Amino acid sequence: MSDVDADGEIPVGRGDEIRSVLDRAAAGGRISAQEALLLYTRAPLHALGAAADTVRRSRYPDGIATYIIDRNINYTNVCVTACRFCAFYRAPKHAEGWVREVEDIVVKCGEAVDLGATQIMLQGGHHPDFGIEWYEGVFTAIKAAYPQLALHSLGASEVVHISRTSGIEIAEVITRLREAGLDSFAGAGAEILTERPRHAIAPLKEPGHVWLSVMETAHTLGLESTATFMMGTGETNAERIEHLRMIRDVQDRTGGFRSFIPWTYQPENNHLGGRTQATTLEYLRLVAVARLFFDNIAHLQGSWLTTGKEVGQLTLHMGADDLGSVMLEENVVSSAGARHRTNRSELISLIRTAGRIPAQRDTLYRHLVVHRDPALDPVDDRVASHFSSTALPLVAS
Ligand code: SF4
């Protein structure tokens, strides 16, 4: 980000303007996309973080920062969409393709419940044979066995895929998934919504405006979601801010995005390769700008999985109020090189040493356990990240 002032001083000639925008945003006022870009590229990091933290404090004066216990369960790695950044998928008929039986998925849910999980994220490839009935079957089976688990799963891309596979309308897909037990959509598949970089990294995935339109339909039908951002695949600063603007516009109409979750591209074992073109400072700046820009999204999650625990902790000083999940299981992002691991005790400690009160939350961000007294912290070594990466060397490009 060459136009960021290297020594942290307010650039000559724009200082008053930057200060004014920061003050307005910190007071809860709305800033434009153009102003967000100005802050992202020109505001001193400490001033940006201070303004974002002011917003966070006024939203959450109790000083609580949250985490959740969940498990990401992958049902298949077979996928027809072939995103260039994805290290997880295998094309149909590939020797390394697999499908997990519904019974196995239910067993994994049971293991997660035993470890205190309150949420399951089902994620998988766009299998050409999976229509709406397959998803209805798995959701129904999970809810029959563990009705207390929140199914925060799939995303707009899966809805588009199911709509094509089963030949039914988007709204019908969403309604049937909800009736089968889906509680909310995960924000996966957003990647970057801005057209040029999205097409460059995922040419077969639905365009960004379609992803948003599916989410808007879901929100209208009563299924809320989160929104994510995978940054660092070669997009420009303006394209990053445009991603935020596209989400905020929909949120103005629906209010259905519970949280915004930015993370960084992982470049291993995929066809895109290269490197993560988002530095730690760029990531932190984006987190802060997101807190200032999204005056209409309640929660902001920092990623420890892709940026590391220390950076994850730093996001708590840049506007984030949540560190996401312990991730009892994760295979997709770790396949592409994310090596970071954590456990419940560590997340609690990261939050506490950042000066916050840790709390375990549920999918709706309700506090389940507030860890005010360290002497009463839960101790269970099994509540930790497990990554059984399925990534293997690519056999063809
Ligand atoms: S990111 Fe999802 S849709 Fe894209 S190739 Fe991987 S599994 Fe398929």
- Asked if residue 109 belongs to a known ligand binding site, the reply is no
Of 37-41, 284-288, 376-380, the one with minimum mean pLDDT is 376-380
Query: Ligand 1 atom closest to Cα of 88?
Result: 6
Distances (CA, A) of 18 to 11, 21, 38, 236: 9, 5, 7, 21
Q: Does 325 belong to an annotated binding site?
A: yes
What does the pLDDT read at residue 87? 87
Q: Which of 81, 191, 394 to mutate to test the pocket of ligand 1 (most atoms within 8 A of CB)?
A: 81
Cα 153 to middle of ligand 1, angstroms = 14
DSSP-derived secondary structure for 285-351:
HHHHHHHHH-TT--EEB--STTT-HHHHHHHTTTT--EEEE--S---HHHHTT-----BHHHHHHHH
Q: How is residue 357 annotated by DSSP?
A: E
Instruction: State yes or no: 335 annotated in a binding site.
Output: no
Give the span between the Cα atoms of 173 and 392, in whole angstroms.
33
Nearest Cα neighbor of 346 from 378, 322, 318, 320 is 378
Give me the chain's average pLDDT, please: 91
Residue 13 CA, ligand 1 centroid: distance in Å: 45
Kindly state the average pLDDT of the residues 5-26: 76
Q: Is 77 in the pocket of ligand 1 (CB under 6 A)?
A: no
CA of 234 to the centre of ligand 1 (A): 19
Ligand 1, atom 7, residue with closest C-alpha: 125
Position 187 scores a pLDDT of 83
Kindly state the average pLDDT of the residues 121-138.
97
Average pLDDT over residues 4-14: 51
Residue 227 is predicted with a pLDDT of 97
Q: Are 235 and 202 in contact (CB under 8 A)?
A: no
* Residue 104, number of CB atoms within 10 A of its CB: 12
Edge-to-edge order in the sheet of strand 299-300: 70-74, 119-123, 150-153, 184-185, 225-231, 257-264, 299-300
For 127-163, the DSSP string reads -TT--HHHHHHHHHHHHHH-TTSEEEE--HHHHHHHH
How confident is the model at residue 391, as a pLDDT?
Answer: 35
Distance CA 198, CA 201 (A): 5
The rounded distance, in Å, linking the Cα atoms of 302 and 261 is 7
Residue 323 contacts residue 67 (beta carbons within 8 Å): yes
Indicate if ligand 1 lies below 6 Å from the C-beta of 89: yes
pLDDT, position 8: 43
241: buried, middle or exposed (CB in 10 Å: 19+, 13-18, 0-12)? Answer: buried
Which residue, judged by its Cα, is nearest atom 1 of ligand 1? Answer: 86
**% of the chain surpassing 70 pLDDT:** 91
Q: Can you give the pLDDT at residue 276?
A: 76
* CATH numbers and ranges of domains, the chain: 55-376 (3.20.20.70)
Supply the ipTM of this predicted assembly.
0.99
Strands 322-325 and 257-264, bridge-based pairing: unpaired
**CA 85 to ligand 1 center in whole angstroms:** 8
Instruction: Please report the atom of ligand 1 found closest to the CA of residue 125.
Output: 7
Q: Residues 290, 260: contact at Cβ < 8 Å? A: yes
Considering only residues 359 and 11, tell me which one the structure prediction assigns the higher pLDDT: 359
Q: Which pLDDT score, from 0 to 100, does residue 388 have?
A: 56
Q: Whose CA is nearest to atom 4 of ligand 1?
A: 83
Residue 79 among known ligand-binding residues: yes
| Per-residue pLDDT reduced to its tens digit, 17-71 | 999 999 999 999 999 999 999 999 999 999 999 999 999 999 999 999 999 999 9
CB 126 near ligand 1, within 6 Å: yes
pLDDT of residue 360 exceeding 80: yes
Is 131 close to ligand 1, i.e. is its CB under 6 Å away? no
For the CA of 82, the nearest atom of ligand 1: 5
Instruction: Please tell me the residue having the least CA distance from ligand 1 atom 2.
Output: 125
Let me know: does 66 contact 364? Beta carbons within 8 Å.
no
For residue 381, the model assigns a pLDDT of 78
185-212 in b/e form (b: 16+ CB < 10 A) is bbbbbbbbbbeebbeebbeebbebebbb
Average pLDDT over residues 153-169: 97
**Cα 89 to middle of ligand 1, angstroms:** 6
Ligand 1 neighbour 81 (Cβ under 6 A): yes
φ/ψ (deg, to 5) at 238:
-65, -35
Per-residue pLDDT at 124 exceeds 90? yes
Q: Is pLDDT of 2 > 50? A: no
| pLDDT for 80 | 97
pLDDT band at 387 (very low <50, low <70, confident <90, very high): low
- Give the C-alpha separation, 42 to 157, whole Å: 35
Is 191 annotated as a binding-site member?
yes
Q: Is residue 394 pLDDT above 90, yes or no? A: no
13 — pLDDT class (breaks 50, 70, 90): low
Q: Is 333 touching ligand 1 by the criterion CB < 6 Å?
A: no
Ligand 1 pocket, residue 291 CB under 6 Å? no
Is the pLDDT at 335 greater than 90, yes or no? no
CA of 125 to the centre of ligand 1 (A): 5
Report whether residue 157 contacts ligand 1, using a CB cutoff of 6 Å. yes
Inter-residue contact 277 to 265 (CB < 8 Å): yes
User: Which residue type does 64 have?
Assistant: I
Phi-psi region at 222: left, alpha or beta (left = phi > 0; alpha = psi -120 to 50): left
Q: What is the pLDDT of residues 221-279, one digit of tens each?
A: 999 999 999 999 999 999 999 999 999 999 999 999 999 999 998 877 788 877 778 89
pLDDT score, position 380: 81
Give yes or no for residue 82 CB within 6 A of ligand 1. Answer: yes
